[in-house]
Each structure stands twice: as structure tokens, then as C-alpha cells.
Copies of this chain bind each other. A is one copy, B any other.
Amino acid sequence: MKMNFRSGAICGIVLAASVAAASAQSNVRATIEATNTKFGAALAAGKPADLAALYTTDAMAFPPGSDIVRGRDAIQKMWQGVIDSGVKSAELTTTEVDSQGTVAHEVGNYAMKDGAGKVLDRGKYVVIWKRDGAAWRIHRDIWNSSMPAAR
């Protein structure tokens, strides 16, 4: 009887853990998508410091055509450069989020547009997110264009 009770309790715990894990995945995705909305708003507002604040303090960005960018100050300068180049909006479309504890990876598509809505670049990205209290922050950020390279 004691064993049965224990087995039942363990089953209950395992089932509760599975339900909790699925719910956690869904919450993580919602939080990441909400953060991406903030990202789009900060870019549209031309506020690179607000963009940098969405990253971890020891984040790395991997922009095409240049070396690795490390830390929020450098990441802020990188986004300032993107804004200065004429990008007025970024559409981020999440296609996959998989979280394990305090780490998650996201796969998505992006489109960068100018003030007239013309697509300057479109491509795909992979972001490694880290949980920071109730927030999730961008920890590793890599992307590349899906448009044919200039010849």
C-alpha cells in the first residue's frame, strides 16, 4: 500500500512536471515574442540604448561582414550604425523556441525596412536567450541575409 501510494505520488509528480514544462515552454515563447516587440519598437524609435538593454551584459552579436561584437556598449554602437544606415523598422517572426531551464534558443525570420517600407534586407536568425529574473535577455545573436550576395 505504501509502495502504491509512493508510485502514485511519483507518477503525479512526473505528470505535473510534464504539464509544467509544456506550460513553461509556452510562457518562454510568449515572453520572447513580447521582447521582440519591444525590440521592434526601440528600433523604430531610433533608440539603440533601449535595444542594447534587451541583451545580457556579456552578450555577443555576430553581424555579417564584421567581427564579433561583445557587451552592451558595443552592441548599442552596432545598432546605432544600423539605424544610421537608414533602417527604420525590423519585423521579427519567431518560428521556433525551445527552452531548457534558464536557456532558450529561438529561430526566426527578419525583414529590415527603410522609412518608406522598402525591404533593405531580409533573412533568418538564431538567438540564444538567457533568463534574468522574470525577463529573458538576448545572449547570443546571429543572423544572415537570405538575399543573393552582391557580385
Contacts and interface: CB of A to CB of B under 8 A. Distances in A.
A24 interface: no
Nearest to A150: B150
A115 interface: no
Contacts of A147: 65
A113 B39 CA distance: 37
Nearest to A127: B126
A86 B105 CA distance: 33
Interface residues of A, number: 29
User: What does DSSP make chain A's interface, helix, strand, loop or mixed?
Assistant: strand
Taken together, the copies of this chain in the complex come to 2
Nearest to A68: B124
Contact of A126 (B98, B126, B146): B126
A142 B128 contact: no
Interface in A72-112: 98, 100-101, 103, 105, 107
A60 B106 CA distance: 13
Contacts of A148: 65-66
B107 A140 contact: yes
Contacts of A67: 146
